Structure 1
Amino acid sequence: MASASGPPPRIPNFELNERIGAFFAYLGLVGLGAAVLFRLPSFVKHVRGTGKYGYTFLAAQQNGSVASGVARVSQGETGTVMKNSWIKSTWWNVQRALMTRIPLTSGLSVGKLLLMMRFGFLAVSQLPITFALSMKNSPLGYLIGEGYEKLNFLHRFTADFLCTWWLDVSGRLMFLFALVHGALLMKIQVERTGTIHLGHAPPSWGFAALVTMLVMGFTGWRVIRERFYQLFLVIHVIGYIVILVTIWKHVPATHPYVYVSIAFLGVDHVLKALKTRYTDASLSIMPGGLTRIEVHGINEGWHAGNTIWGGFFEVTLLTNVCNLFAIQHPFTIVNAPNRSSLPLLGQDLVLVAKAAGDFTRNMHKMADKPNELLSEKSKTSETFMNYKRFRVTVEGPYGVSFDDPTKYGTVFLCAGGIGITYCIGILEDIVGKIFRGAPISTQKIELVWAFRDSRLLEGFEPALAEIVNVAVAHPQISINIRLFRTGGDRNLNDYTSLPAKFEAGARPDFKNLLDEVAAHPTSLAICVCGPISFVDSVSAAAISMNTGELSDIALHTERFGW
């Protein structure tokens, strides 16, 4: 049981442990700096080629027509599958190798006190890095060409909880170090005084921080996070504030780490505010349980594949969904901006959300049957006629990639279900640049789309048909479309007149498809969007494919899930 009278034992060699903690903080910064230097040539080339685009939205341009395009709901983490496990293992092995070579000596016979404090400083040394990797506007992401969603696994790696220790041998650093620190402290107190001194300020504040990390880690576990994302988000926001306060109160030596973490947090929120636009959006329904969201007044400033966070605020006419629409929701922008759009596809930025969770289901209901969601008083108001138009915030764009598909001779697009929206955006961007006479290297596009519900094809066929029609008029580019309906055996010709190869009741064999592409001398960009298993299968095929005559290969993946 906790606590008794009398002060806790004095901890010797405190200065040495501070230096060890600082060493690992600097070690992390050195590692991040090395990654930046490694990617610096690509960053310079990317900036020269894209200029101001991809960092903030621009007001609607008048010199062209923005593509209506489509977008998919982005549900969190994306990334290049082949990179993640290698980076995580390297990060852990370097720190473990260095840590085991530090002398463990102290004023006690077995070095217990020094070891205990050492783990405490190892934990707090991860705090600034954890906050830096959680930033949506992390300078590291822009410098190495990876969006915040692709750096997020490193954020979880440095911060998450012990429950994943036996699931991932790389371990989760900050909580593990903090847990060892707290356990050793209590063990030493019991051995020296016969009781645990949680009633005194340093141990009590430290214990509060440790419990908060445990709660945040548990709710951050993928199973919990994906099923109860809003709960995870609320606990995470409250939790990091509690952690900063409790660690600051724990011991004065932690103050520099807390100050740096707060600085990262403040810079990120300032940049979020600068990247937020307030505008109007209209809702309408599409086949297959889809909702079309047309954002007015923005048609420039992003790259195909960038993400946004949208917030719906002017919903005072609604009764049962007003609280739901007061929050932000992530979307991936996939329609082409004004500079590479096609003339007949629309005027404003357009997103498409599938009715999957509470947010998107209520959005679809509002677009489909708005009268049922309005109060009797609202139905008689002057604003009732404009019930489908709402005031929204659009924060972004986010997501950085130095791999421009238009730099590759062949582009291989793979879509699983609603992931077709990502591929349509890339298609429009490539064909739109050819239509406008921009110099690009792409000569061939292969589109593979696997889906269960044929109503998805009905909803997206007009956009696909328009892109294909424009491409046909430009012989320097060819588009091959392969459709796989995995949920039935009915002939897809009943649903579409697209010039495509149809496969009913089958799944694509990506290994064979990629080997066919690799048989020709070219450079290849593989872009995939879909469920986790779908993305993993494409990534595995890309790893094992016969490279043949290929001169260069790039893989970009986007996965469903938070």
Structure 2
Amino acid sequence: MLPWEFSEDDLKDSLEYYPDNTIDEIRATLVAFSYSSYYVPAMALLVIYCLFVGLILADGILGCLPRRAVPRWIRAHVMEAPLATKKHHVAVGAGVIRLPLRLQSIVVGGLFLATFVPIFCFYRRANPDLYYDHAWEAHLRSLLDRTAMISTGLLPLVIVTATRRALPSVSGIDFGNAMVYHRWLARFCAIHGLIHGIGWSVSEGLRGHYKKEFKDPYWNWGCAAIAMFMGLVFLSIRQLRVKAYEVFIALHVILALFSLVTLYFHVKLIDYAAWMYFTWVVEIAAAIWGLDRLVRWINKAYLSAGTSFSQPLTQAVVTAHGSDIYRMRVHLGASKVQPLIGGQQASLLSRFRLSPINKLSAGTSVRLTIPRLQFWSDHPFTVIDAGLVNGAESQGYVDLLIRSADGMTKQLATLLQSSDDKALEAGSGTAVDRTMNVVLEGPYGHWHSSVVKHDDVLLFAGGVGITFCLPIFVQAAAQSDARCKLVWAIRDFDIVDSVADQLIRLDEVLRAAGPRSSKPKIELRVTAGEFFDKAKEEVAEGVAELKHSATDSDNALSKASSSASSTPIPSPPDEKAEYVEAKKIESSSKRLTALAARLSGSMDLVAVHGRPSKRVADHFEPHSDRTAAVIACGPASLCDDTREGAIFALRKGEWRDVEYVEECFDW
């Protein structure tokens, strides 16, 4: 029997309860009540699920089609364009709401209409109505039943869009898009649940039964479920999420589990035939959630298993680069990593990935847990490098670049600084690397193999956003003759030291490959004006001097490095911060000078003050016969500006085609 159907037993019970009415009147009342309370929300859920399946199919088809199969104007004005303003990642409404892209907005709008239109439309009432004397009472009861059914019915979709493997593996849908739909579906689910709870409280209050309802277990379970759902939505506000991300993740998992449990008992205890189906819905949602957690734990166990009983977890070595930049090298088995240059990365990280144990490679994301600091939560990072250890073919590694901010990264910085202080007190004179146990989970995201096939590749990185852009830059420069340019916005030069080894390895590859039509370019955009003004002249003069005086680039690097490391820094005449900062600028400028001279034979490295131009044509000469890829990773404002520039180039036809890819810090 379907939820909106009533049985002969229901009809017989009604005949006994309403002996003065005819069977036709009773049947009419049952039909109207079943239609308004159960049929309409069931059809709304059917429409929602059809829209969702259609979204998955459309996304899969678009992912398999060549880009030229989708007209340029659709990509420029629908698929890639922000909703109304130029803002997409930059939140609006007091920084609370992120506006979806136009295509995402169409999907969200369709889900909104299918979810909320049934609240206002399609009500029926029998005449005479044996259940309710007033029309508003009948409509209120139907409203409360509808919101309950829709809220419960949305739950599997809310959970499946939040899974890190189930939906991307089956559909190939981008995780960023899935999270947009997850957030909006969760809001719709919570709003319907809230309307249901408030409405029943008002209804029972008008009847004088409000206090008595708290003696009924199903009522209390329902109140607890609404509290859990509203807690999930409230704690997901962006300001709270970013401020204490690890706490948010831990509470999100706990509240999600309690939401499922409390809702299950609320529905189970109703003991009405129509709600039997929705007990199954909650069980399905719980099964999806549990399976996702199980697969993630298997993935963690595989990636993080140590080499012996005495070393149960994999180890990582953390090296400091400046005061707030740290590079972490996690040691893994060679079978767990995929080198960037020379590997088959595109085939390993395909659009559809069903295995929970894919190899880790540069440009993909991982979840990192440091048990010593926070065993109860993890933090997302992008792998900046992955490969095999020289001289140990069975040993691999992945490198992460970490900037100290809040939460776990701040705790890590505090731990490392305490280790440095102890080393200095012991008389070593230098900071020490720190070894620690870690737990990894991943990889998430997929390698964007198409971007390295374009004629022009332009990348914008903001700070540690280099972790996503640098692997693409390395791959494009090493495996194609494309014009490549990396624009990197930084506050100082310390962070450049953390990737110097990768740039030097790329330099060796490019030198071995021979001449190319255009040298790759790296443009450092130093946003700290005072720092740049002091360092600019030193860097420019140092590069010129080393290019002319050194016999080769290796000697130049050796000369500058030894000068930076062996020149003693005199004790300051006083403890003024200006003196310390000046010495820091002098040291970092020498290191950058050495790196620029070392790379000068294969690529150009320059430092420029100020924000970069977002127009693609300001970085490459436009050509209607060439294609371009524009990639961005960094803060929300940088990604929005870069998107605007890419869409402008696409709309104006400055290139035959422009592909835009981004990885934004908006978790």
Superposition TM-score tier, normalisation by shorter sequence: 0.7 to 0.9
Counterparts of 2:404 and 2:174 in 1: how far apart (Å)? 29
**Aligned amino acid, residue 394 of structure 1:** L
Equivalence map 1:218-237=2 (5 Å): 218-237=234-253
Counterparts of 1:90 and 1:543 in 2: how far apart (Å)? 25
Moved more, 243-252 or 386-395: 386-395
Counterparts of 1:79 and 1:502 in 2: how far apart (Å)? 36
The residue aligned with 1:210 is 226
> What are the Cα deviations for residues 267-317 of structure 1, in whole angstroms up to 9, with x where unaligned?
21222133221222222222352222111124222454211112234xxxx
Relative to its length, the structure with more helix (as a share) is 2
> What are the Cα deviations for residues 29-71 of structure 1, in whole angstroms up to 9, with x where unaligned?
322321222233455689xxxxxxxxxxxxxxxxxxxxxxxxx
Counterparts of 2:618 and 2:121 in 1: how far apart (Å)? 46
Counterparts of 2:154 and 2:258 in 1: how far apart (Å)? 16
The residue aligned with 1:270 is 294
The residue aligned with 1:71 is none
Counterparts of 2:645 and 2:223 in 1: how far apart (Å)? 47
Moved more, 189-198 or 244-253: 189-198
Match of 1:173 among 188, 193, 205: 188
The residue aligned with 2:564 is none
Are the counterparts in 2 of residues 104 and 114 from structure 1 also a CA contact under 8 Å? no
**Aligned amino acid, residue 337 of structure 2:** N
The residue aligned with 1:394 is 440
* Secondary structure of residue in 2 paired with 1:453: coil
Equivalence map 1:367-406=2 (5 Å): 367=416, 369-370=418-419, 388-400=434-446, 404-406=450-452
Counterparts of 1:547 and 1:141 in 2: how far apart (Å)? 36
**Aligned amino acid, residue 157 of structure 2:** I
**Aligned amino acid, residue 329 of structure 1:** H
> What are the Cα deviations for residues 179-225 of structure 1, in whole angstroms up to 9, with x where unaligned?
11112212222333464533323322211111222222221111111
The 1:291–1:101 alpha-carbon spacing in structure 2 relative to 1, beyond 3 Å, is: same
The 1:173–1:240 alpha-carbon spacing in structure 2 relative to 1, beyond 3 Å, is: same
Counterparts of 1:291 and 1:142 in 2: how far apart (Å)? 36
Counterparts of 1:537 and 1:505 in 2: how far apart (Å)? 18
The residue aligned with 2:16 is none
> What are the Cα deviations for residues 363-398 of structure 1, in whole angstroms up to 9, with x where unaligned?
234445537689xxxx9xxxxxx9933332221111
Match of 2:183 among 148, 156, 165: 156
The residue aligned with 2:458 is 412
Counterparts of 2:62 and 2:504 in 1: how far apart (Å)? 35
The residue aligned with 1:363 is 412
Match of 1:331 among 358, 372, 381: 381
Are the counterparts in 2 of residues 123 and 178 from structure 1 also a CA contact under 8 Å? yes
The residue aligned with 1:510 is 614
Counterparts of 2:204 and 2:654 in 1: how far apart (Å)? 67
Are the counterparts in 1 of residues 483 and 519 from structure 2 also a CA contact under 8 Å? yes
The residue aligned with 1:34 is 54
The residue aligned with 2:93 is none
TM-score (structure 2 length as normaliser): 0.64
The residue aligned with 1:523 is 627
The residue aligned with 2:506 is 467
Counterparts of 1:465 and 1:156 in 2: how far apart (Å)? 42
Structure having the higher Rg: 2
Counterparts of 1:406 and 1:78 in 2: how far apart (Å)? 30
The residue aligned with 1:122 is 150
The residue aligned with 2:37 is 17
> What are the Cα deviations for residues 61-88 of structure 1, in whole angstroms up to 9, with x where unaligned?
xxxxxxxxxxxxxxxx999966544443
The residue aligned with 2:525 is 484
Counterparts of 1:323 and 1:351 in 2: how far apart (Å)? 17
Are the counterparts in 2 of residues 280 and 390 from structure 1 also a CA contact under 8 Å? yes
Shift of 1:413: 0.6
Moved more, 350-359 or 423-432: 423-432
Counterparts of 1:306 and 1:18 in 2: how far apart (Å)? 45
Counterparts of 2:106 and 2:141 in 1: how far apart (Å)? 34
Shift of 1:21: 4.1
* Secondary structure of residue in 2 paired with 1:397: strand
Shift of 1:129: 0.6
The 1:411–1:141 alpha-carbon spacing in structure 2 relative to 1, beyond 3 Å, is: farther
> What are the Cα deviations for residues 331-367 of structure 1, in whole angstroms up to 9, with x where unaligned?
11232557xx9x9xx9621111112223223323444
Counterparts of 1:255 and 1:373 in 2: how far apart (Å)? 59
The residue aligned with 2:658 is 553
The alignment status of 1:144 with 2:172, answered yes or no, reads yes
Are the counterparts in 1 of residues 363 and 467 from structure 2 also a CA contact under 8 Å? no
The 1:533–1:120 alpha-carbon spacing in structure 2 relative to 1, beyond 3 Å, is: same
* Secondary structure of residue in 1 paired with 2:379: strand
Are the counterparts in 1 of residues 41 and 118 from structure 2 also a CA contact under 8 Å? no
Match of 1:310 among 368, 378, 384: 368
**Aligned amino acid, residue 299 of structure 2:** K
The 1:358–1:95 alpha-carbon spacing in structure 2 relative to 1, beyond 3 Å, is: closer
Shift of 1:508: 1.0
Structure 1 residue runs of 5 or longer lacking an equivalent are 1-10, 47-76, 160-171, 314-321, 380-385, 435-439
CA RMSD of aligned residues (A): 3.5
TM-score (structure 1 length as normaliser): 0.76
Equivalence map 1:45-194=2 (5 Å): 84-97=104-117, 100-105=120-125, 107-108=131-132, 109-110=135-136, 111-140=139-168, 143-147=171-175, 149-159=176-186, 172-193=187-208
**Aligned amino acid, residue 466 of structure 1:** R
Are the counterparts in 2 of residues 411 and 445 from structure 1 also a CA contact under 8 Å? yes
Q: How many residues align?
A: 479
* Secondary structure of residue in 1 paired with 2:297: helix
Are the counterparts in 2 of residues 445 and 480 from structure 1 also a CA contact under 8 Å? yes
Are the counterparts in 2 of residues 283 and 291 from structure 1 also a CA contact under 8 Å? yes
Shift of 1:329: 2.2
